């Protein structure tokens, strides 16, 4: 059964850091591009970053460039998002999803709240 499970969301102060994880199974992880997408409360979807199957191609939305880092461990079938210098506007549910051309196999998301 396909499973994508995000974790690591928490309440953090502005300027703080957080590392999100995404554990995947049955999705051919090591051969798949993987993405992070976020959704603010009551809002729409915003693509954050994606990474190729080898981990040597990474792309980010401008608003997180220089602050967020996407990475992966194919041996552990896991995706990560290191978030530094967090801002109030980063508050959202963060989803992990497989894909480069269209996104399938989404997780349920993990909530990141940035507030003092």
3-state secondary structure of 55: coil
Q: Which stretch binds other proteins (CB under 8 A): 9-17, 20-28, 72-80, 103-111?
A: 103-111
Q: Which is nearer to other proteins, 5 or 91 (CB)?
A: 5
Task: Please state the length of the chain.
Answer: 116
> In this structure, are residues 83 and 20 in contact, taking their beta carbons and an 8 Å threshold?
yes
Region 31-70 residues binding other proteins, contact defined as CB under 8 A:
35, 44-47, 50, 59-62
Q: How far is CA 83 from CA 32, 59, 69, 103, 112, in A?
A: 22, 14, 7, 22, 10
Q: Which stretch binds other proteins (CB under 8 A): 10-18, 20-28, 74-82, 104-112?
A: 104-112
Alpha carbons 47 and 49: distance in angstroms, whole number: 6
**Is residue 24 near other proteins by the rule CB under 8 A?**
no
Minimum CB separation from other proteins for residue 55, in Å? 17
Question: 69 — phi, psi (to 5°)?
Answer: -135, 125
Minimum CB separation from other proteins for residue 44, in Å? 5
- The contact set with other proteins (CB under 8 A) reads 4, 35, 44-47, 50, 59-62, 95, 97, 100-108
């Amino acid at each position: 059964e396909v499973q994508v499970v995000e974790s690591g969301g928490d309440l953090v102060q502005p300027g703080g850091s957080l590392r999100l994880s995404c554990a995947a199974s049955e999705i051919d992880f090591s051969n798949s591009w993987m993405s992070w997408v976020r959704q603010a409360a009551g809002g729409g979807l915003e693509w954050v970053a994606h990474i190729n199957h080898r981990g040597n191609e990474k792309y980010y939305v401008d608003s997180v460039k220089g602050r967020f880092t996407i990475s992966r461990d194919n041996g552990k079938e896991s995706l990560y998002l290191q978030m530094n210098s967090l801002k109030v506007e980063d508050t959202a549910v963060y989803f992990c999803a497989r894909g480069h051309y269209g996104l399938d196999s989404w997780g349920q998301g993990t909530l990141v709240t940035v507030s003092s």
